[in-house]
């Protein structure tokens, strides 16, 4: 298999990666045949997976614009993946010139590609780190250079927490990040769930099993379990809802049924 120029030498291109599969669903070109194969296998059970990813991205953009309207100029996007059109820094910097963005991902392709995209953008950077180790993120030179933790920050955890197993204490990691944020900070979050998926749970489980097979288990949580991530936050209207229902800019009834899979919400620290 030929290694494209953009693929860091250190990565094993025979093993699928969650961020490259996501890139494939979004129509990106930074993925390999192993990623496409896993994606197609998952889509046999849930053909609407790309619609779910598009709904995630659309929510993320609305939430970043909301944060900008609230006067927030600092963004920490953990599990940011491979940059595609309409990324956080593009949306934030268009809404507020001078906005600062730090992306965090543990996938070397995502990090390398982010570095290439962000070259020459002094207000944005990327950190190779893992959500499960919040202190490594918070004490990174990139965060120290760009983010003033004494001022409000928008923390984005979009389509990432469902890849953290309970054994790795995702609630503890989210609480640790919350503790570091100034009052008036926002948590912008989406999470997969069996609730809202327009196919029977047994069928959706087939797609979940594909992720298990590639050693990146997808943890489907209930709405109540997802709401627990917002402990210590006041929910912004309309609360924790299916993605198309969060401050929609077009009629939710026009959306694909798969767009309503899982939940999205924004919380504010007191």
Q: What is the pLDDT of residues 137-150, one digit of tens each?
A: 999 999 999 999 99
Of the given ranges (13-17, 70-74, 96-100), which has the lowest mean pLDDT? 13-17
Average pLDDT over residues 237-246: 98
Average pLDDT over residues 92-96: 95
Please provide the average confidence, as pLDDT, over all residues in the chain.
95
For residue 159, what are the CA distances in angstroms to 11, 22, 224, 243, 264? 23, 10, 17, 11, 9
Map out the domains of the chain with their CATH numbers. Answer: 55-198+221-269 (3.40.50.150)
Residue 1 has pLDDT above 80, yes or no: no
pLDDT of residue 209: 97
Q: What is the pTM of this model?
A: 0.96
For residue 16, what are the CA distances in angstroms to 67, 164, 207, 216, 239? 34, 17, 15, 9, 34
What percent of the chain has a predicted confidence (pLDDT) above 70? 100
Residue 134 has pLDDT above 90, yes or no: yes
Residue 28 has pLDDT above 80, yes or no: yes
- Bond into 238 cis (ω within 30): yes
pLDDT of residue 12: 86
The confidence band for 161, taking pLDDT boundaries of 50, 70 and 90, is very high
pLDDT of residue 5: 78
Question: Is beta strand 263-269 parallel, antiparallel or unpaired with respect to 186-191?
Answer: antiparallel
Residue 167 has pLDDT above 90, yes or no: yes
What percent of the chain has a predicted confidence (pLDDT) above 90? 90
pLDDT of residue 2: 75
Measured CA to CA, the distance from residue 248 to residue 261 in angstroms comes to 16
Positive or negative torsion for Cα 60, 84, 160, 113: negative
């Amino acid at each position: 298999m030929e290694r494209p120029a953009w693929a860091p030498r250190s990565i094993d291109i025979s093993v699928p990666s969650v961020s490259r599969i996501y890139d494939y669903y979004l129509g990106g070109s930074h993925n390999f045949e192993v990623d496409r194969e896993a994606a197609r296998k998952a889509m046999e059970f849930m053909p609407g997976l790309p619609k779910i990813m598009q709904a995630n991205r659309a929510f993320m953009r609305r939430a970043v614009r909301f944060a900008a309207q609230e006067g927030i100029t600092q963004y920490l996007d953990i599990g940011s993946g491979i940059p595609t059109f309409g990324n956080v820094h593009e949306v934030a910097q268009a809404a507020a010139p001078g906005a600062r963005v730090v992306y965090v991902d543990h996938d070397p392709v995502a990090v390398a590609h982010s570095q290439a995209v962000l070259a020459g953008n002094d207000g944005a950077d990327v950190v190779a780190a893992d959500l499960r180790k919040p202190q490594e993120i918070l004490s990174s030179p990139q965060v120290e250079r760009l983010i003033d933790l004494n001022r409000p920050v928008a923390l984005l955890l979009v389509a990432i927490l469902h890849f953290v197993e309970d054994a790795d204490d995702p609630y503890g990691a989210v609480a640790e990040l919350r503790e570091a944020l100034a009052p008036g900070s926002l948590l912008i979050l989406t999470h997969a769930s069996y609730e809202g998926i327009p196919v029977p749970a047994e069928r959706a489980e087939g797609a979940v099993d594909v992720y298990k097979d590639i050693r990146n288990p997808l943890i489907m949580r209930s709405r109540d379990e997802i709401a627990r991530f917002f402990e210590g936050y006041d929910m912004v209207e309309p609360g924790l809802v299916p993605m198309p229902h969060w401050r929609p800019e077009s009629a939710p009834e026009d959306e694909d049924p798969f767009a309503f899979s899982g939940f999205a919400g924004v919380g504010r620290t007191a």
